[in-house]
Amino acid sequence: SVIYLKDYQTPAFLVESTALRFELEEEQALVRSQVQYTRNPDSADRLRPLILDGHESLELHRLSIDGEVLNEQDYRRQGEQLIISELPDSFVLECVTRIEPQNNTALEGLYKSDGMFCTQCEAEGFRRITFYQDRPDVMAVFETTVVADKQSYPVLLSNGNNVDSGEEDDGRHWVRWQDPFPKPAYLFALVAGNLEFIEDQYTTASGRDVVLRIFAEAKDLDKLDHAMLSLKRSMQWDEQVYGREYDLDIFMVVAVDFFNMGAMENKGLNIFNTSCVLAHPETTVDTGFQRVEGVVGHEYFHNWSGNRVTCRDWFQLSLKEGFTVFRDAEFSADMNSRTVKRIEDVTLLRTAQFAEDSGPMAHAVRPASFIEISNFYTLTVYEKGAEIVRMLHTLLGEHKFRQGSDLYFKRHDGQAVTTDDFVQAMADVSGRDMTRFKLWYSQAGTPRVAVSGEYDAASQRYTLHMRQSCSPTPEMETKQPFLIPVAMGLLDQHGRDITLASGNTTEVLELVSTEQSFVFENIPVEPVPSLLRGFSAPVKLSFPYDQEQLVFLMQHDSDGFNRWDAAQQLAVSILQKLITDYQQGSPLVLDNALIDAYRLVMSDVSLDKAMVAKVLSLPSEAYLSELSDEIDVDAIYQVRKFVRQTLAKALESEFLSLYQSNCSGDSYSPDAASVARRSLKNLALSYLMATERTEYLALARDQFAQADNMTDSQAALSLVAHSVHEQAADELLEQFYQRWQNESLVVNQWLAIQAANTREAGLQRVEKLLTHPAYDASNPNKIRSLVAVFCAQNLPNFHNLDGSGYRFLADQIIVLNKQNPQIASRLLTPLTRWKQYSEARQSLMKAELERIGNSGDLSKDVYEVLSKSLAQ
Ligand code: ARG
Ligand code: ZN
C-alpha cells in the first residue's frame, strides 16, 4: 500500500524512556523491552490507540501493561501492526519477543555477519527487533543491556556510555549502555562479537575528552589507521566550519562484512560496511582511501545533522542526507583538491541522478509518496538533496549560510523536523522569501536551461537570454519555474575575466521565470560566457558554443570546474557525431580538435595532475547513454573504444612521457598530490594499452610485478585483464587471486575486474565465478562486485541481443527477492530503463520484468520498482 506525505499524523503516544534487554544465543535472541509511554498532549483525540510496528517474523512471547499481562483479546495484530486501545494516559508496556538473527538474510534489524551480531535499523529495521512506534518522530532515551556468551562474544556494544557490566555463572556476561540523548529507534544499534579495536582520543574545543574506538575482526586491525585519522579530522572540521562538537564520552565505529549500504550513523556507535572503513596501502586503492575519509566524515557529521536534529517522517529523509552529503563533500574538498572533488560529484549526479530523474522511479527530493522507504535512499535524495543545500550556500554566501545553520541547530536541537524547517532557518537569517526556492524539494525532474548570448557593439551591451523547462515526471505533468542560481563570468578575447558591474568577476544570476534576460553594460568586446560555474545548480544547461570557444574556455576559464566541463562538452559533441556516423554506416574519423585539445592539456604545466587526468578521461558510456534519446549500446561502446584507440595512437609518445615522468620511487602515501600523480600515470598507461602494442603489455606487467601498493597493482591488472592479450590476462588474474584470496575486499575487486570484461562470453565467465569459492551469494558486497558490475559496466555482454544478460539478472533478482529485498530492488535498476533502448532490447527487458512479476510473492521493495517500471 502507498504511504502519502499528506497523511502525516503525529504519534498518539510519546515515549519517555526505552529499556531493552537482549539475551543472545546461537539459535535465537530474546528481546525484552520496557517502554514508558505518555499520551501525546498534541493530539486532541484522547481515544487514539497505540499503534506499534512489528515485522511478521517477530514471535511475541509476552505483553504486559504496568505488570498486567495482556490476553489476545486485549490487542490486535494486523499485518505489520499491533494495536492496543483503551489505554491510560501514562503506562509502562513490557514486551518480550523472540527473533532468529542467524536466519535474518535481509540484513535489517538484528542479524549475524561473520559470527558477529549487529544491527541495521534505518529506516524500518527496529520493527524486526521488537514492537515499537518505529517512526523517526518518536524520540526516547535508551538503556540497553546485552547478555551473551563471554567466550564467543567478548565485546558487547550499544549506544551511549557503558554504565555497568557483570558476569553470570554459566559463562555468559552482560554490559549495560545508556544513551542520554533522546533518539528515534532507527538510530539504535547493538554489536556483539569477537572483535578487537584501535583506540585514540580527541579533546573537543570546549575541553571534553572523547575516547575513539574502531572495532574490527583481528585480521583487519592493521587497516583502521586511515579511518581513525579521518575521524579526528572530521571532528575538528565540524568544530571549525560548523561550530559543532561531539557530545558523548565515547565514539565507536564497527566494521562488518555483511552490510546492505555503506554505513550507518547510529548514535555513538556507527556501523560500517568493511568497504567504507578498512584501508591499507597494500590492499586499498586511492579512491578507496578517499571513500573511507568521505564516509567516516559523513557518518560523523550525522551526529548533528541527523541525530541531534532528525527527520519528522521519512519523506524528509533529505533533511539529514542532503545536508550531510553537502557537509561531507565540503570536508573532502577541504582535505583534498576542491575542483577534483566537485568534478567527481557532478559526474555522478549527471550520469546516475539525471538518469534516475528521467526514469520510472523519478521522485522529488522530498517525495510525496512511497511504498517502501528503502527504495528512496537514492541519488535524488542524497546527491540532488546536497545540491539544494549547496544552492542555499551559493545564494546566501558563506557567512549567512553559517548563521542559518547555527539557527537551525539551535532552534531544533532534540527535535524531529522537516525540510521546510531547514529552509525557514535560512530564510530567517537572510530575510529572503524562499517560497520559489522550495520547489526544488517538491518537483522532480532535471530542469533544462537554454542560454543564448547577444552582443551589441555600439552600446557595448551583452545580454544573456535564458529559458528554463522541466519534463513531466511520473507524479507531475507540469512544473512551475525553479529558482536557478547561475554563477557566471565573462571572458574577454585574451581569456581574462571581465570585471562586472558588481565589481566581481563571478556573479550569481537568479533565473526565476520561464524566460528571463540578463543585461551587462560596458562590455568592450564580445565576450565568451562561462556559465554555471562550479555547477551552481543541478540543471542541464546548454549554450551554442563552437569548438574553438570550448577549447578557449578549456584553456582560460578561471573556474577550474568549467575548464574541465568545456573539455567534456567538446568530447561529448565529437563522440555524439561519431555515434551518428556509426549508425549510418559511415567510416569513423576522429576530429583533430580533440587530439589537439588533449595535447594542449598535457603540456599545460599550471594544471594540477588530478585535473589533467580528469580532462583526459573521455565521458563514460553511462554518461553518453544518459545523454541519448535512444541508447544505442553498440554504437556507444564501439565509438568510445575507437576514440580511445585513436587518441592513444595519435598521442602515443606524449602518453609515454607522461607515464614515465609520473613514475616515482617514493613509498606510498594517500595524500592528494600522490593520488593525483598515480591517477595521471595510470591514465597514461591505459591509453598506452589501448594501442594494443606488446611493449606496453610489458610495461603493465612490470608495474604489476613491482607495485608496492594496490592502486598501481590493480590498475595494471585491470588493464591487462581487459586487453587483447588473453593469456597474460589469465596469468595475472590467477597470480592476483593466489596472493590475495584471504583479503575479502581485494577479492571483490578481482571479481569486479572480471565482471567488467567486455570480451566475448562475459556472461559465461560471470556464471562460472558464481560457483567460485571466492563468491558468497549472501554477501551484498560480493553481489555488487559481480552481478551489479556486470550489468552496469559490461555493455556488450549484459545487453547481448540474445537476451541472456537480462535473463541472468532476472534470475538473480528472483532469488534475492526472498533473501534480501533491498539488494534485489537495487539490482533492478538497469532493467527499469527498458524504455530507452531499441525495440528489440525493450521487449527482451520487459519480458524479464514480467517474469520477475510472475515469480511469486514479491517483497514491497521489488514490487514498487517493478510496478513503476512496467507502468511507464
Ligand atoms: N543513513 C545511512 C547513511 O546515509 C544510510 C542508511 C541506509 N539504510 C537503508 N535502509 N537504506 O549514512
Ligand atoms: Zn547519511
Ligand 1, atom 3, lies closest to the CA of 264
Cβ within 8 Å of residue 100, ≥6 positions away: 27, 28, 29, 57
pLDDT per position as a tens digit, 524-551: 999 999 999 999 999 999 999 999 999 9
Ligand closest to CA 328: 2
Give the confidence band of 43 by pLDDT, cuts at 50, 70, 90.
confident
pLDDT per position as a tens digit, 297-339: 999 999 999 999 999 999 999 999 999 999 999 999 999 999 9
Residue of 377, 381, 864 to mutate, ligand 1, most atoms within 8 A of C-beta: 377
pLDDT per position as a tens digit, 92-151: 999 999 999 999 999 999 999 999 999 999 999 999 999 999 999 999 999 999 999 999
Comparing C-alpha atoms, which of 177, 147, 346, 319 is closest to residue 248?
177
Answer yes or no: is pLDDT of 47 > 90. Answer: no
* Cell representation of residue 293: 575519509
Cβ within 8 Å of residue 154, ≥6 positions away: 194, 195
Q: Does the annotation count 398 as an active-site position?
A: no
Answer yes or no: is pLDDT of 44 > 80. Answer: no
Task: Please state the rounded mean pLDDT for residues 67-87.
Answer: 96
In the chain, % of residues over pLDDT 90: 98
Task: Please state the rounded mean pLDDT for residues 441-445.
Answer: 98
The alpha carbon of 387 and the centre of ligand 2 are apart by a number of angstroms equal to: 15
Question: What atom of ligand 1 comes closest to residue 302's alpha carbon?
Answer: 12
pLDDT per position as a tens digit, 248-307: 999 999 999 999 999 999 999 999 999 999 999 999 999 999 999 999 999 999 999 999
Comparing C-alpha atoms, which of 833, 813, 810 is closest to residue 823?
813
- Residue 25 neighbours by CB distance under 10 Å: 14
Position 722 scores a pLDDT of: 98
Q: What is the mean pLDDT of the chain?
A: 98
The alpha carbon of 199 and the centre of ligand 2 are apart by a number of angstroms equal to: 24
Query: What type of residue sits at position 584?
Result: Q
Instruction: Report helix, strand and coil shares of the chain as percent, to nearest 5.
Output: 45, 20, 35
Position 130 scores a pLDDT of: 98
Q: Around 871, how many Cα atoms within 13 Å sit in the side-chain half-sphere?
A: 12
Answer yes or no: is pLDDT of 471 > 90. Answer: yes
ipTM of the complex: 0.98
Give strand pairing partners of 200: 212
Residue of 118, 264, 381 to mutate, ligand 1, most atoms within 8 A of C-beta: 264
Give the confidence band of 605 by pLDDT, cuts at 50, 70, 90.
confident
* Number of residues written out for the chain: 872
The conformation of residue 788, written as its DSSP 8-state character, comes to: I
pLDDT per position as a tens digit, 669-724: 999 999 999 999 999 999 999 999 999 999 999 999 999 999 999 999 999 999 99
Question: What atom of ligand 1 comes closest to residue 125's alpha carbon?
Answer: 10
Question: What atom of ligand 1 comes closest to residue 306's alpha carbon?
Answer: 1
The alpha carbon of 321 and the centre of ligand 2 are apart by a number of angstroms equal to: 5
Task: Please state the rounded mean pLDDT for residues 636-645.
Answer: 98
Element spanning 422, H or E: helix 419-430
Q: Ligand 1: residues whose CB is within 6 Å?
A: 122-123, 261, 263-265, 298-299, 321, 374, 377
Question: What atom of ligand 1 comes closest to residue 123's alpha carbon?
Answer: 10
The alpha carbon of 794 and the centre of ligand 1 are apart by a number of angstroms equal to: 27
- DSSP states along 517-558: EEEE----SPPEEEESTT--SSSEEE----HHHHHHHHHH-S
Helix or strand or coil: residue 389? helix
- Helix extents (H) in 198-253: 225-242
Ligand closest to CA 184: 1
Give strand pairing partners of 13: 39
Question: What atom of ligand 1 comes closest to residue 382's alpha carbon?
Answer: 4
Give the confidence band of 840 by pLDDT, cuts at 50, 70, 90.
very high
Answer yes or no: is pLDDT of 45 > 90. Answer: no
- Residue 350 neighbours by CB distance under 10 Å: 22
* Cell representation of residue 298: 559523513
- Residue 848 neighbours by CB distance under 10 Å: 23
Burial of 611 (0-12, 13-18, 19+ CB in 10 A): buried
Angstrom distance (rounded) from CA 489 to CA 532? 9
In the chain, % of residues over pLDDT 70: 100
Placement of cell 586491525 in the chain: 221
Give the confidence band of 18 by pLDDT, cuts at 50, 70, 90.
very high
**Predicted TM-score (pTM) above 0.90:** yes
Angstrom distance (rounded) from CA 2 to CA 474? 15
* Cell representation of residue 839: 525495440
Angstrom distance (rounded) from CA 745 to CA 173? 33
Angstrom distance (rounded) from CA 559 to CA 292? 28
Cβ within 8 Å of residue 593, ≥6 positions away: 547, 551, 570, 574
In degrees and rounded to multiples of 5, residue 157 shows phi and psi of: -125, 150
* Cell representation of residue 612: 589533467
Position 665 scores a pLDDT of: 78
Helix or strand or coil: residue 292? helix
Q: Are 602 and 616 in contact (CB under 8 A)?
A: yes
Ligand closest to CA 125: 1
Cα distances (Å, whole numbers) of residue 649 to 5, 551, 597, 660: 57, 21, 15, 17
Task: Please state the rounded mean pLDDT for residues 741-757.
Answer: 98
Angstrom distance (rounded) from CA 299 to CA 253? 10
Task: Please state the rounded mean pLDDT for residues 422-442.
Answer: 98
Position 664 scores a pLDDT of: 85
Task: Please state the rounded mean pLDDT for residues 392-398.
Answer: 98
Ligand 1, atom 2, lies closest to the CA of 264
Answer yes or no: is pLDDT of 231 > 90. Answer: yes
Position 606 scores a pLDDT of: 87
Q: What sign does the CA torsion over 606, 612, 616, 621 have?
A: negative
The alpha carbon of 301 and the centre of ligand 2 are apart by a number of angstroms equal to: 9
Residue of 108, 122, 299, 383 marked active site: 299
Position 475 scores a pLDDT of: 87
SS3 for 666-735 is CCCCCCHHHHHHHHHHHHHHHHHHHCCCHHHHHHHHHHHHHCCCHHHHHHHHHHHHCCCCHHHHHHHHHH
Residue of 55, 111, 122, 318 to mutate, ligand 1, most atoms within 8 A of C-beta: 122
Answer yes or no: is pLDDT of 457 > 80. Answer: yes
Angstrom distance (rounded) from CA 136 to CA 121? 11
Ligand closest to CA 122: 1
The alpha carbon of 123 and the centre of ligand 1 are apart by a number of angstroms equal to: 7
pLDDT per position as a tens digit, 769-816: 999 999 999 999 999 999 999 999 999 999 999 999 999 999 999 999
Give the confidence band of 173 by pLDDT, cuts at 50, 70, 90.
very high
The alpha carbon of 386 and the centre of ligand 2 are apart by a number of angstroms equal to: 11
Ligand 1, atom 12, lies closest to the CA of 264
Angstrom distance (rounded) from CA 503 to CA 505? 7
Ligand 1, atom 5, lies closest to the CA of 264
* Cell representation of residue 350: 549527471
* R_g over Cα of the chain: 28
Angstrom distance (rounded) from CA 329 to CA 338? 9
- DSSP states along 751-775: HHHHHT--SSSHHHHHHHHHTSTT-
- DSSP states along 608-644: -HHHHHHHTSPPPHHHHHHH-SSB-HHHHHHHHHHHH
Position 494 scores a pLDDT of: 98
